[in-house]
A and B are shown apart, each in its own frame.
Chain A
Amino acid sequence: MAITFKKDRVVFSEMVDGEDAERLLEWLQKHPKGKIDLAACTHLHPAHLQVLLAAQRPIFTQPKDQLLFDWIASTLQPV
């Protein structure tokens, strides 16, 4: 699974395709303090990306993948 929903955080890993974007949206609404962990993520589908952007939630762990980090650094704020 590329996205894992845990109690207090949602963990993205490796390539994340667009399938669970609605679930992510629901999860973010249900967990207003839920953390976002992108550490192991190398790419995420824009559907997810725009959900994260719209949620305006700080990113708890930035991706280790430098290229992805560079792309999203300008738009997603770190904690």
Chain B
Amino acid sequence: MSQLEAELSQLKESIIDMMKLATKQLQKAHLAIQNLDGELSQEVIHRENRMNAMELSIDRDCENMFALWNPVATDLRFVLAMLKINSELERIGDHAVGLAKYVLANQEPFNMELTKKIELDKMFEVAVEMTEDVTIGFKENDTNKVRKVFKKDLILNDILKNSSDIIGEYVGNNPGFSRQSLFLFSALRKLERVGDLTKNIAEQTIFYLEAEVVRHKVGEK
């Protein structure tokens, strides 16, 4: 392996590590909300530092790649994609922390009936599946696996869309739960954003592997 290939492969490994960490952060945030587990929630918040450090380090690696290796063609697309994927992962990490913080802000357990109705667990599960799919596809250079996330993202969009009526109705009938309902609605929105960010990662992966720009294309991904 040439020195250039070694550097590129190291960069890829760092991104895979960060993808795995982002997925873990989401899973832990989910568990923390399910169990109203303040300690786990603190752990997610604490791990955010690691996420941020990784982002800085990958940024620096990309900058060095540009400066020292003048990458072109597939290498150029790769480094450009890593730069963007890096910042999307950092934002997924931010959302995981935002979700974990609801546990600390909320004094009583989330209302089971409502969380079930708005499909909060499913939302978490699909979001986590998406980050896992994109990690595997990215690792194996398999754009078919990466493309799985586009369909799953639609599930997240639908759940969010349906939730506003459900929550609206619930708050109308149970005014005492309005604060918690707002938390839950906001949690769904965060997860929907995680879906969008994961989709962006998928698009960047396809861009670097296939030299195809799939951003902002509707219905032909």
Q: Do A and B come from one complex?
A: no
* Chain A residues at the B interface, C-beta cutoff of 8 Å: none
